[in-house]
């Protein structure tokens, strides 16, 4: 029997394993074993993106490749002598086309369910206007890890959802995405202070940054200097709070940061939004106070 040797890298120090030629050929000559895998090119992309426990996704993956240790597979590998199902004793114990078709149909149903959930989340989660006399400033950042630079984006709105200003700020020598988010948050707080606002809500989708801004304790992380600056500025406000929100609620600040990063320009617009912003989302989808 011929042996195929496979390895990675050079022969010295590489890990080699043998695959018997006959076994390799038999697997290639058994296309029904991979029927589900070849039916859809997006099967695995859909599978791994599903919000399911890993063991369920791995089991489905094994079914799609006919990797389950059924008696039919064990007999094929000459590990057992019979493939007869021990329960019904009338048929071979195998995955079979019916099981593969069932899993494929099940995956399509999961895809539709996931799309419905995502749509529902987008409908339910939206920007909420602040209480009367309070200004809400949404912030976000975009980070370019190749050039170590970032863009801060922020938009301020009042209780009616009216845009008071939109701003972008370009930063060089930014070492990480966490630093980029902390920079954007610090700029949002300092801009609110420069405007003379005494009651503000600072809102962003960076959970780490928002959580660090709340307690009045020394932060020793690599963004500690920005957090300390923010905490020092907090005393200049009569009322200031920090809210963490999902990306869908922070879409205007996110769009500002991502779209303006390539240009690398710091821009400030008083009382209006950038031209690419949707007027419907600029005014906010919800007028209910937090």
- Binned at pLDDT 50, 70 and 90, residue 164 comes out as very high
Chain Cα centroid distance, residue 98: 34
The DSSP code sequence of 209-263 is HHHHHSS-S---STTHHHHHHHHHHGGG-SEEEEEE--GGGGHHHHHHHHHHHTT
| Residue-level pLDDT at 50 | 75
Task: Examine the pLDDT at 172 and tell me if it is beyond 50.
Answer: yes
Task: Examine the pLDDT at 97 and tell me if it is beyond 50.
Answer: no
Task: Examine the pLDDT at 170 and tell me if it is beyond 60.
Answer: yes
Neighbours of 151 (CB within 10 A): 28
- Where are the domains positioned within the chain? 35-124, 135-282
Tens-place pLDDT, residues 239-285: 999 999 998 899 989 989 999 998 888 888 888 776 656 544 444 44
Tokens of 274: 């950038």
- Binned at pLDDT 50, 70 and 90, residue 226 comes out as very high
| Residue-level pLDDT at 141 | 96
- Binned at pLDDT 50, 70 and 90, residue 219 comes out as confident
Q: What percent of the chain has pLDDT over 70?
A: 67
More confident residue, 222 or 7: 222
| Residue-level pLDDT at 42 | 66
| Residue-level pLDDT at 104 | 57
CA torsion 219-220-226-231 (nearest 10°) is 20
Task: Examine the pLDDT at 195 and tell me if it is beyond 60.
Answer: yes
| Residue-level pLDDT at 221 | 86
Instruction: Name which of 113-122, 124-133, 252-261 the model is least confident about.
Output: 113-122
The mean predicted confidence, pLDDT, of the chain is 76
* Fold that domain 135-282 belongs to in CATH: Nucleotidyltransferase; domain 5 (3.30.420)
Tens-place pLDDT, residues 14-52: 444 444 444 444 444 454 444 444 455 567 777 777 767
Confirm if 180 and 145 have CB atoms less than 8 A apart.
Answer: no
């Amino acid at each position: 029997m011929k042996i195929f040797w496979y390895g990675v890298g050079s022969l010295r120090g590489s890990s080699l394993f043998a695959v018997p030629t006959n076994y390799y050929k038999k697997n290639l000559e058994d296309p029904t074993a991979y029927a589900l895998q070849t039916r859809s090119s997006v099967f695995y992309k859909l599978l791994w993106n599903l919000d399911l426990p890993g063991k369920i996704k791995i089991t489905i993956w094994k079914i799609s490749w006919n990797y389950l240790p059924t008696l039919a597979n064990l007999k094929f590998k000459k590990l057992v002598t019979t493939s007869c199902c021990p329960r019904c004793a009338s048929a071979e114990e195998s995955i079979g086309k019916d099981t593969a078709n069932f899993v494929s149909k099940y995956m399509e149903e999961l895809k539709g369910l996931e799309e419905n959930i995502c749509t529902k989340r987008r409908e339910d989660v939206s920007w909420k206007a602040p209480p009367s006399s309070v200004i809400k400033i949404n912030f976000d950042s975009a980070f370019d890890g190749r050039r170590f630079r970032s863009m801060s984006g922020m938009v301020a709105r009042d209780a009616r959802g009216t845009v008071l200003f939109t701003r972008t700020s370009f930063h060089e020598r930014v070492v990480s995405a966490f630093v980029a988010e902390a920079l954007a948050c610090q700029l949002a707080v300092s801009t609110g202070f420069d405007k003379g606002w005494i009651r503000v809500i600072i809102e962003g989708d960076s959970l780490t940054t928002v959580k660090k801004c709340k307690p009045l304790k020394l932060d020793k992380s690599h963004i500690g200097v920005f957090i300390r600056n923010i905490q020092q500025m907090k005393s200049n406000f009569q009322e200031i709070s920090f809210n963490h929100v999902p990306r869908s609620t922070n879409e205007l600040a996110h769009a500002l940061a991502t779209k303006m990063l390539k240009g690398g320009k710091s821009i400030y617009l008083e009382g209006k939004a950038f031209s690419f912003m949707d007027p419907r989302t600029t005014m906010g989808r919800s007028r209910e106070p937090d």
